[in-house]
Each structure stands twice: as C-alpha cells, then as structure tokens.
Structure 1
C-alpha cells in the first residue's frame, strides 16, 4: 500500500483518483485473502471503487505475497 501511494503521488494522483483495483494474493487460504483485502480497503477509506480480489498460485518475485494493481484517472496538467 505504501508503494501504491508513492506511485500515485509520482503520477500526480491520489486515492480519490483511483478508478479500480485488483488485489492478487499468493494463497488459496481465505484468511490470507481477507487479511490482504482489509489492508487495501483500509487505505481507501470512504473511496470505494470496483475491485477484484484473487488468490493465485504464485506472483512474479520470490517471497512476494501480494500484488495490488491500481487504475487511476488523472487529467493532464
């Protein structure tokens, strides 16, 4: 979530500019998916966007457990 906020800021965006999210969790355990989801949802507060939560077999980096993909809409300034 911290990396997401840094990336949004670098693009001139913030949480309010996010249009959708996809959260991938390297686990098939429901409790792991719920734990990751709760962290992401807490970061968004009242800004509720369409989101997808999926358990996957593996992610791209060794020991990577969660990946958050965010689509934000920012007007060119």
Structure 2
C-alpha cells in the first residue's frame, strides 16, 4: 500500500478523516493543482450548486491523478475550498468528498472562503498524493 492513514490517539475520534497520512519509502510525490468545477471547454458547471460543483471538481481531480499514474487511494491529503459564509454549504461539499473517497478517509481541511478564481465558481479541491 502506497499511503497509510493514521488515527492519532489523544485527538477527537469524531473526525470523519484520518489525522495524518504517510507514504511508503521510495514513492514519488504528486502535487495537484486545485481541481475546479470546469468542463472541457473551461466553463464553470452547475452555477449555484455546491454538491454538483464538488462532484465535478472530484471528477477533474481523478482525471489529473490518472495522468500522474495515481488514484484516489494514493491521495495523502486534501484542502476543500468553498466560497460561502454558510456552514451548511461546507457540509454539503464535505458529504460529496467523503462519499467519493469512501474508506480512504484522507486528512483534509475544509474552508469557507470569500471568492474563487472563475466566474460562478463555488468549490475548489487541492490534493497531494504519492505513487510508486
């Protein structure tokens, strides 16, 4: 296994993700640009829909991982950015991320931000991975 997820004694057991992750020796790091909810023509998909934009970000993230010879199970961590002041939007985005990663509950940071780079963009997902 390339990535080992670690539960950390002494930290709250209620977090729906691992607190740390390591990669086996000899694996190369993969840094991914923030995955945006853009279609193949560069248009923002699903304006106003946090869940749909999160799903598209994850689709694009998987495509970039594949190009690097990696998969979601090779991801060491993520940062999920949601342009909102409403905590419910954060939970909506997180539910989509958590479902897609399933058993590979990587360390993650979930942030509400003021604005993202593309018109109508509500979500962006950064990731780090390791591959043999």
TM-score tier after normalising by the smaller chain length? over 0.9
The runs of at least 4 aligned residues of structure 1 exceeding 6 Å deviation read none
| Bigger Cα Rg | 2
5 Å-filtered alignment, 1:41-56, equals 41-56=98-113
SS of the aligned residue for 1:38 comes to: helix
Of Structure 1 and Structure 2, which has the larger fraction of its residues in strand?
Answer: 2
Q: Does 1:33 align with 2:81?
A: no
Q: How does 1:1-77 map to 2 (within 5 A)?
A: 1-75=58-132
Q: Which has the higher contact order (CA 8 A, sep 6+)?
A: 1
- Gap runs ≥5 in structure 1: none
Aligned-pair CA distance for 1:62:
1.1
Normalised by the length of structure 1, the TM-score is 0.94
**TM-score normalised per structure 2:** 0.56
Give the distance between the partners of 2:127 and 2:99, measured in 1 at CA: 15
RMSD between aligned alpha carbons?
Answer: 0.7
